[in-house]
Amino acid sequence: MRQAASGAYDLLERWLTTLTALRGVSDKTIEAYRRDVGGFLGFLSGHFGGPQGMSALSKVKITDMRSWMAHERRRGIAARSLARELSAVKSFYRWLSEIEGIDVTSVLATRTPKFKAQLPRPVARDAAKAMIDTVELQSLEGWIGARDTAVVTLLYGCGLRISEALNLNFLDAPLPESLLIRGKGDKDRVVPVIPAARDAVDAYVRLCPFAMTPETPLFLGVRGKRLNPRMIQKAMEKTRLQLGLPATATPHAMRHSFATHLLEAGGDLRAIQELLGHASLSTTQAYTALDQTRLMEVYKKAHPKAG
């Protein structure tokens, strides 16, 4: 096995650089990986009594992993968050295995802590429409109101994640009848664009005070840079307070609602899976708050030998 002279944190930065350069991982994900894996490396330094390099990283056993997880739980880290941290550590170790040839069985064999998945809560049809109609009123600037309306319409009308909507560039406008969206895991999918979404984006572009080129982000903040998702979250927070909607009426809930309302209208579960970009049909089932009775109805309608 080739021994690397770099310390553990240098290896971490090399891994993050690789993710950014070769896989196009988002800045937000990179920072989450740096925080989660960096915390793990910090634990190892205390656990083993000093800064660690490649040699020490290669000797981590299942007992060390359990000690780290116990340490995190004592710090008050919830099972869901610990599962995310463990996933990041495993990804880091898979990379170490590729570049150093070390045995990472102990790390990869560490069991993910169990936690109860929180099912998303979709927004009711009338509430989703009211959200779209009202979000523009949260800003005194007309172009900002039009911008927020366009983004929220894309979330509900096309089932986009907020990151996917804000990653659009001016090159994408005017929006075509369908968009090629790159989602999680760099997976591409084709999403139909409803007329309401195209009209909302057109209205925003007409009002936007900034000059745009094909490379310019489509949705801009007040300083002319790519819009921060927090701005949409804040606008929706104000809107749901105005409308008396629950705290679950978030940008991501609009995507949930897109899927749920399509299914309630008779949409095919597999087609909705493709529109959302889910790798697993079971994920879509949970995403749409699909009960067992409705699932069987979809199954019987779709399967040639069912019913």
Domain check: are 100 and 139 in the same one? no
Last residue of a domain, one of 82, 108, 134: 108
Domain check: are 77 and 152 in the same one? no
Q: Which of 90, 147, 256, 278 is catalytic?
A: 278
How confident is the model at residue 291, as a pLDDT?
Answer: 47
Question: Which of 97-101, 107-111, 228-232, 274-278 is predicted with the least confidence, judged by mean pLDDT?
Answer: 274-278
How confident is the model at residue 263, as a pLDDT?
Answer: 65
Strand pairing report for 188-192 and 178-182 = antiparallel
Q: How far apart are alpha carbons 41 and 49 in whole angstroms?
A: 12
Q: What is the CA radius of gyration of the chain?
A: 23
How confident is the model at residue 63, as a pLDDT?
Answer: 93
Q: Is 238 a catalytic residue?
A: no
Q: Which of 90, 147, 161, 240 is catalytic?
A: 161
Range of the domain at 80: 8-108
pTM for this model (two decimals): 0.57
Note the residue count of the chain.
307
Strand, coil or helix: what is 272? Answer: helix
User: 236 or 55, which is more confident?
Assistant: 236
Number of domains in the chain: 2
Domain check: are 65 and 131 in the same one? no
Domain check: are 140 and 239 in the same one? yes
Which residues, in sequence order, are CB contacts of 37 under 8 Å at separation 6+?
12, 15, 88, 89, 92
pLDDT surpassing 90 at residue 135: yes
Domain check: are 137 and 215 in the same one? yes
pLDDT surpassing 70 at residue 285: no
Question: Which of 11-25, 80-94, 220-234 is predicted with the least confidence, judged by mean pLDDT?
Answer: 11-25
- Whether 277 maps to a domain, the answer reads no
Q: How far apart are alpha carbons 90 and 78 in whole angstroms?
A: 18
How confident is the model at residue 4, as a pLDDT?
Answer: 35
Domain check: are 142 and 194 in the same one? yes
What's the mean pLDDT in 127-147?
92
Q: Is 287 a catalytic residue?
A: yes
Structure token digits, residue 229: 């998702």
Residue 22 sits in a domain of what CATH number?
1.10.150.130
User: 291 or 253, which is more confident?
Assistant: 253
Are 16 and 8 spatial neighbours (Cβ–Cβ below 8 Å)?
Answer: no
Domain check: are 247 and 159 in the same one? yes
Q: How far apart are alpha carbons 91 and 171 in whole angstroms?
A: 34
Q: Is 256 a catalytic residue?
A: no
Q: Above pLDDT 90, what percent of the chain? A: 37
Q: Is 2 a catalytic residue?
A: no
